[in-house]
Structure 1
Amino acid sequence: MKDRLGGLSGRIGLAMAGGRSPWGKPGGSGNSGGGGGDDGGDKPPSGDDAPRGPRNPWLPGGSSGEERPRRSASIEDIFKNRGPEGPRRSGGGGPGGPNFRMPRRAGGGSWLPLAVAAVVGVGLLLTMVHQVGAKEQGLVTTAGKYSRTLPPGLHMTGPWPIQSVEVADVTSIRSVAIPDGNEERLILTSDQNLVDLSYRVRWNIKDLAQFRFQLADPVETISEVAEAAMRAAVAEHKLDQVISGAGRAQIEERVRVRTQQVLDAYRAGVIIQGVDIAKADPPARVVEAFKDVSAAQQDADAEANKAEAYAQQVLARAQGDAAAFDRIYAEYKLAPEVTRRRMYYETMESVLGKTDKTIVETGNVTPYLPLPEIQRRSQQAQPPAPGAQ
């Protein structure tokens, strides 16, 4: 405000120095000398003249002869064209350069509404086009209510938020680990034993609409149903069958079938692809005792296998002897006398061949001749071979 007042005082001073009357009438240098002439000096306005006063410095400048109506200055006039950076000027002569203005249409209207409408239209068009992959399906909802399911391909729907599309993978195999982590999960077997069992359930989506809207938490439901089916299947087998792996394949198949039946009854919209048992161990608190029992069981199995092998050998030998006797009996029936004599000779040969006595039934020979003793004495009486030490 002080700057404005200082400028006003300067302008009044310049007007007075240039011979301009503060009452608005111009004064000339030619009429100022000696006070001569009709207009020898500035006179105050008479009653017939319009009231005049000092020129308003806030009005735009004009020619010296042009008179404009007087208007009092107001605070709005002072700050109307003034911004934080200084006085605003129309046109391009100011230090800030020309002001930017939006281009106008032929009729003088603004292009801004059309630009905003075009941006909104493109955005709505993008929400209407949906690309569904080869392994995916799209779920269309109208105002939050299920409308239809989109197969793979390019599809058009209503704009958002009237219609929205949720795309999900329905082909890839997913899995649920039970238990989730390294925690112990004990299950009771048919012989009243506990086994620490961990397994994995493989599944994928069959009906996307049912999977999305039928159950509150489909993954948690699959986990709970599979665990119930596993406990029922393990309760039908003994501990050795579960741990040794002899009954694992049967348990896995029963769990898969039972889980699928329950989920179909729930209309969960999933397919159980398989169940894989990852670990079947005794509880951690009885691991050492179970190892001792397992070692004893293995020793018992080894001894039982040895006894079974010996029994098989004895049985095979007995079967061979029986077959040989059957052949001899067949020959005996064909020639009883010859067969009897042959059997007698073979029997006596096998018995007497193990003795060191020789019996000769001839009258010219001594009934008992100790041939082995004579042979031993003759070997002792022979001199050693030359060069032998």
Structure 2
Amino acid sequence: MRILDGFGQRIGLAMAGKNPWGTGGDGSSGSGDGDAPKGDKGSGDKGNGPRNPWLPPGSGGGDGRRGPNIEDIFKNRGPEGPRRKGGGGGGGPNFRFPQRPGGKSWFPVAVVGIIALGLLATSVHLIGPQQQAVVKTLGNYTRTLDSGLKFSAPFPIETVDVEDVQGVRAVRIPGNNNQVKLILTGDQNLVDLSYIVRWNIKDLADYKFRVVDPVETVNEAAEAAMRAAVAEKQLDETFSGQGRAAIEQDVRERMQRTLDSYQAGIRVLGVEIEKADPPGQVVDAFRDVQVAEQNADAARNQAQGYAQQVLAQAQGEAEAFDKVYEQYRLAPEVTRQRLYYETMERVLSKTDKTIVEATGVTPYLPLPEIRRRAQQTEGPATTVTAPGGQ
């Protein structure tokens, strides 16, 4: 812009009838007939001869009439204005990449080395002992890699996705312990259940490409299996330990069949019921029912104990009678007489007795009165204390 401004000033001088190339050495103005400017033979005198209009004002040295060089103009100019060389301030140091001994730059070699290192890093894979990897070639599944040091084509030709296939993964249903999960039992009751499903990967290729969301698939299969298993049980069975074990085993088998039908590549390791409670709205009534059932069980157990006692006593008497009958068959008269005496002794020992003789000195003997007097006289002295103070 500075060059164009100087050129415009000279055009204005020429139109005004003045010499656009400046004054001569004697101070007179140049001729107005447009004679060519005469150069100054002295190299340092600014007043001798015309000045080159293409040079910036104040520039000295060299031939003042040097022809313009467009490359020099644009080389010394930038978007921010003319560049200044030397001196303090201005631009910072220019970075240059180191050169090889032959004079060529190391930059292409560095770029090739970085690319080769990246390709090598995407081609070598160290797979852990509990891991497997699936290989996709241009986005399509091709093979599965086991544990160890494995190789593949570099990215993006082949991509390798590593997964832990032996680690145990757990899913809690429902996810929040405070959340209620009501399930209908076989006797039309509701039970609040929370449980944990533990699983791992059986087939990595199916796990990766057969189902969209494996975790969500496990959740849905577990909930469907649990509802189906509980619907076949009574409410009391869901609270007992044996009933819970049966439900857990049934749920695991149902889940495995469902996931295998989906080809999900998932192995169900186990199901554990954490909580089995009645709904919160009927907890008090349910506790009352449980107390009544416990009382009924206690009364039932007491009755069964009494029945067993009576039965054992009856069986003992029957065995004794069988033994007596065997003796009776051997000696009927003797056995009959012995039974008569034992029966009379057992009966008469519990009744008051009076002995009456038809002919004799003592026709009447009041045995009950004699016994009563003896007891009143000797009762306090003949008191016997049973063992234990009773």
Fold-level match, TM-score > 0.5?
yes
Q: Specify the alignment match of 2:76 in structure 1.
A: 80
**Contact 1:24 1:53 survives alignment (8 Å):** no
How far is the alpha carbon of 1:73 from its aligned partner?
8.7
Question: Which residue of structure 2 lines up, in the alignment, with residue 155 of structure 1?
Answer: 150
Q: Partners of 1:184 and 1:268 in 2: how far apart?
A: 28
Alignment deviations for residues 82-110 of structure 1 (CA, whole Å, 9 cap, x no partner) = 88997334xxx978997553332344322
Counterpart for residue 368 of structure 1: 364
Distance 1:84 1:169, change over 3 A: farther
Q: Which residue of 95, 111, 116 maps to 1:121?
A: 116
Q: Which runs of 5+ in 2 are unaligned?
A: 7-38, 382-390
Give secondary structure in 2 for the equivalent of 1:198.
strand
Q: Look up the equivalent residue of 2:126 and give its one-letter code.
A: Q
Partner of 1:256: 252
- In the alignment, the residues of structure 1 paired with residue 371 and residue 322 of structure 2 have an alpha-carbon distance, to the nearest angstrom, of 43
Q: 2:239 matched to 1:222?
A: no
What is the Cα deviation at residue 184 of structure 1?
A: 1.8
1:74, distance to aligned residue in structure 2 (A): 8.0
CA-to-aligned-CA distance 1:107-127 (integer Å, 9 cap, x gap)? 432211111111121122111
Q: Quick check: 2:76–2:82 contact (8 Å CA) kept in 1? A: no
In structure 2, do the counterparts of structure 1 residues 277 and 356 end up closer, same or farther at CA, with 3 Å as the change threshold? same
DSSP-derived class of the 1:87 partner: coil
Matches within 5 A, 1:107-146: 107-146=102-141
Query: Could you tell me which residue of structure 2 aligns to residue 348 of structure 1?
Result: 344
Please list, as runs of the form range in 1=range in 2, the aligned pairs for 1:20-99 lying within 5 A after superposition: 23-25=40-42, 58=59, 70-71=66-67, 77=73, 80=76, 87-89=84-86
Contact 2:197 2:270 in 1 (8 A): yes
Question: 1:327 is matched with which residue: 316, 320, 323?
Answer: 323
Deviations 1:182-211 (A, max 9, x none): 322222222222222222211110001100
Q: Are the equivalent residues in 2 in contact too, given 1:137–1:149 (CA < 8 A)? A: yes
TM-score under structure 2 length normalisation: 0.75
Structure 2 Cα separation of the partners of residues 273 and 329 of structure 1: 67
**Contact 1:81 1:87 survives alignment (8 Å):** no
Measure, in 2, the Cα distance between the counterparts of 1:311 and 1:257. Answer: 44
Cα distance change on mapping 1:58 and 1:160 into 2, 3 Å: farther
Q: Is the 8 Å Cα contact of residues 52 and 64 (structure 2) preserved in structure 1?
A: no
C-alpha distance 52-341 of structure 1, shift in aligned 2 (>3 A): closer
CA apart distance, 1:243: 2.1
Equivalent of 1:209, from 185, 192, 205? 205
Residue 182 of structure 2 corresponds to residue 165 of structure 1: no
Q: Specify the code of the residue in structure 1 equivalent to 2:198.
A: R
Say if 1:365 and 1:283 are closer, same or farther in 2 by CA, change over 3 A.
Answer: farther
Q: How many residues align?
A: 342
What does residue 190 of structure 1 align with?
A: 186
Contact 1:190 1:239 in 2 (8 A): yes
Q: Report how far residue 266 of structure 1 moved.
A: 0.8
Aligned to 1:38: none
- How far 1:236 moved relative to its partner? 1.3
- Distance apart, 1:179 and its partner CA: 1.8
RMSD: 3.9
Alpha-carbon spacing, 1:354–1:150, altered in 2? closer, same or farther (3 Å)? same
Task: Decide whether aligned partners of structure 1 residues 112 and 176 sit closer, same or farther in structure 2, where only a CA change above 3 A counts.
Answer: same
1:40 corresponds to: none
1:337 matches 2:354: no
Q: Given the alignment, which residue of 169, 175, 182 partners 1:174?
A: 169
Partner secondary structure for residue 208 of structure 2: helix
Report percent identity of matched pairs: 56
Separation in 2 of the partners of 1:274 and 1:343? 71
Cα distance change, pair 100–275 in 1 and its aligned pair in 2 (3 A): closer
Q: Secondary structure at the match of 1:164?
A: strand
Mind listing any 5+ residue stretches in structure 1 that lack a counterpart? Answer: 6-21, 28-43, 46-50
Matching residue of 1:359: 355
**1:271 CA displacement:** 0.6
How far apart are the structure 1 equivalents of 2:150 and 2:229? 46
Alpha-carbon separation, structure 2, partners of 1:381 and 1:244: 66
What corresponds to 1:299 in structure 2?
295
Structure 2: distance between partners of 1:84 and 1:372: 152
> Per the alignment, do residues 185 and 159 of structure 1 end up closer, same or farther by CA in structure 2, a change over 3 Å counting?
same
Deviations 1:207-248 (A, max 9, x none): 011001001111111211221121111111111112233422
* Distance of 1:138 and 1:84 partners within structure 2: 60
